[in-house]
Structure 1
Amino acid sequence: MTRDSGARIERVAFAGTPEFAARALHAIVAAGYAVPLVLTQPDRPAGRGMKPTASPVKRIAQEAGVPVWQPVTLKTPQAWGALVAEPPPDVLVVAAYGLILPRAVLEWPRYGAVNLHASLLPRWRGAAPIQRAIEAGDAVTGITVMQMDEGLDTGPMIARYELAIAPDETGGSLHDKLAVLAAQAILDVLPDLPQRLAAAEPQPDVGVTYAHKIDPAERQLDWQQPAPLLERKIRAFDPYPGTQTRWRGQPLKVWRAVVAPDAAEVSPGTVVAVDPARGVRVACGEGSLWLTELQRAGGKRLPATEFLRGAAVEAGEKLGMGDEEDDDVR
């Protein structure tokens, strides 16, 4: 395919689904680019009534009057044939779309497809880069604008934008910061994208890590693990999917915790102390944690001070004991 490195980008197709992607689409539309179509996942049941609900990207597209395509899959020629028969846009911008794009779709736009990935590649390729960066204790993350190929986040890098991870960062707060950064990043690269593509750098082989999709079983806190690791996990999984343990046989979500400065000479999972001002101190495999925000089944997220008014947690009790079903706190 012949590509003019001096050409302008005018027609920008988009593929994405969640709020992270919606911010980037909104920025592209607001900047005045022509968006001929948007790909997003099919409407999913949501809310108490479990009614089919449009994705955040679909809502932005509809507000802008942009045609929306919602294929269930793009694995077969029957699935993507009609798409690539459309007049090719200059580029396809992809952000957290959720479906694998075949070669025919990647090669359909004049300048191919570029991806907004929420990490500094090659670190944290894959599905959950935001949560895994916090969980691992990374000090910095960012957005990589990448030329897409058929691999898993393996394409050449067009640009990288760094962002420091705050000591109290949660999965939710980091998501929002990166969504803003991603929207800024795509507006930065689009004006001279052809030249940037010509200068794109292959990802190094050193430093590759994978942000595997979060398994529901990971929500359960393993008190045998070190306190600093558990504290990072609690923050990383807030607000989704959350972390939890069991108290008196019932699921108990843990939303905030602070590493205690001193170790506990009891078995992991044991409640060491209960302090209305500080929370519930629990022994871990190494060190201990003060649990400072909790949620019982059917209840609300509460600071420990309020939680302990209605929950008589006692020192010496064990958390995580009993049936380990994958319960959830609603």
Structure 2
Amino acid sequence: MNVGFAGTPEFARVALAKLIAAGYPVHLVLTQPDRPAGRGMKLQASPVKQLAQQHGIPVLQPVSLKKGEEAEHALHALKTAVHGQALDVLIVAAYGLILPQTVLDAPRLGCLNIHGSLLPRWRGAAPIQRCIEAGDAETGVCIMQMEAGLDTGPVRLWRALPIEHTDTTTTLHDKLAELGGDLLVEALDSLQVATLPLVPQPEVGVTYAEKITKAEGVINWHRSAVELQRTLRAFDPFPGANTTWGGELLKCFDPETVALAGLMGKPGEVLSVDSAGIEVQCGQGVLRIRTLQKAGSKRQPAQQVAQALGFSVGNFLSS
């Protein structure tokens, strides 16, 4: 089976690596243009581009697939990638560009998407963050046949994955990336010898995972400790749930709820500072934060940061 691949970040790189390891000939890679990154803001290739170049796979980086000379060139490449013939299938994983119908129709078997949720729950841009934030007990990966709608296509294969109470977006992302790559290879193996059923998504249970914004990272201490514990995990690493003390922005990580009877203080009030972290009163319940990060610094034990900044029991963190 002759394969093309469209993807950009680490999630997609894992899938491409598994495709290559499984022996599938990848004839073409589409990925986002190089972006400035790091302190020096030098142009940096995406993880997918770096892997493709290591294996000598041709790479295209159009800014759009809808119109323009680059879009026409990419479409022509899809239709002629295999000795002048079209690809059998295009795999799409966290690519970042909308695929018009002309691209969806170009490969013989269409386009398969690796989506990091159990569709139709969490269609959209941020399924990993939103499932943690919502307190879901499980998530998973779907191999979906792409169509024009936003993650609305029929599902060919899916697999569930439990969400641990300590999972962050970082840890869950890595688990889903591995699962997605394995499931993709399983799907292609099946398509080579038989047909995989196209299962329409249910009309009930549809939710949308809106893109995460920096503004969502501001902690509202009037929310419950349970909600905030989920939020801190969901926003690790980006945008980082944050609060302020004395004008200093502090990102908060490694949270856990604390079982204390009654209301110990007012929302945002620091109840304790010790080697276990800092405990903060919430609208309902108490949240322990074990790690803090000042702007421009690395993550450090919360007690160490508190002592350096001089805040202690009875002080208030801002919402």
TM range, smaller chain:
over 0.9
Alignment of 1:19-34 (within 5 A): 19-34=10-25
**Equivalent residue for 1:267?**
266
Q: Which amino acid aligns with 2:218?
A: Q
Which residue, out of 164, 170, 173, partners 1:172? Answer: 170
Q: Deviations over 1:146-204 (max 9, x none)?
A: 00000100000001111111110011000000110011011101022267766211000
Query: TM-score, normalised on structure 1?
Result: 0.90
Alignment of 1:1-330 (within 5 A): 10-76=1-67, 78-86=69-77, 87=80, 88-193=86-191, 199-262=197-260, 263-271=262-270, 273-320=271-318
Asked if the contact 1:291–1:304 (Cα under 8 Å) also holds between the matched residues in 2, the reply is yes
* 3-state SS in 2 of match to 1:98: coil
* 3-state SS in 2 of match to 1:274: strand
Q: Deviations over 1:214-272 (max 9, x none)?
A: 0110011111111101001101111122111011121011012211212434331122x
Query: TM-score, normalised on structure 2?
Result: 0.93
Give the Cα separation in 1 of the matches to 2:295 and 2:214.
17
1:37 is displaced (CA, Å) by 0.6
Structure 2 unaligned residues grouped into runs of 5+: 81-85
Give the Cα separation in 1 of the matches to 2:250 and 2:263.
22
Asked if the contact 1:114–1:146 (Cα under 8 Å) also holds between the matched residues in 2, the reply is yes
Evaluate the alpha carbon distance shift between residue 110 and residue 187 of structure 1 in structure 2; reply closer, same or farther with a 3 A threshold: same
Give the Cα separation in 1 of the matches to 2:192 and 2:239.
39
* 3-state SS in 1 of match to 2:15: helix
Give the Cα separation in 2 of the matches to 1:320 and 1:288.
15
**Equivalent residue for 1:327?**
none
Displaced runs of 4+ in structure 1, greater than 6 A?
none
**Equivalent residue for 1:328?**
none
Alignment RMSD = 1.5
Asked if the contact 1:253–1:295 (Cα under 8 Å) also holds between the matched residues in 2, the reply is yes
Q: How many residues align?
A: 311
Give the Cα separation in 2 of the matches to 1:277 and 1:226.
24
Give the Cα separation in 1 of the matches to 2:187 and 2:300.
43
Asked if the contact 1:126–1:211 (Cα under 8 Å) also holds between the matched residues in 2, the reply is yes
* 3-state SS in 2 of match to 1:85: helix
Give the Cα separation in 2 of the matches to 1:196 and 1:244.
51
Asked if the contact 2:273–2:312 (Cα under 8 Å) also holds between the matched residues in 1, the reply is no
Q: Which amino acid aligns with 1:217?
A: A
Give the Cα separation in 1 of the matches to 2:300 and 2:76.
54
Asked if the contact 1:259–1:288 (Cα under 8 Å) also holds between the matched residues in 2, the reply is yes
Structure 1 unaligned residues grouped into runs of 5+: 1-9, 322-330
Q: Sequence identity of aligned pairs in percent?
A: 50
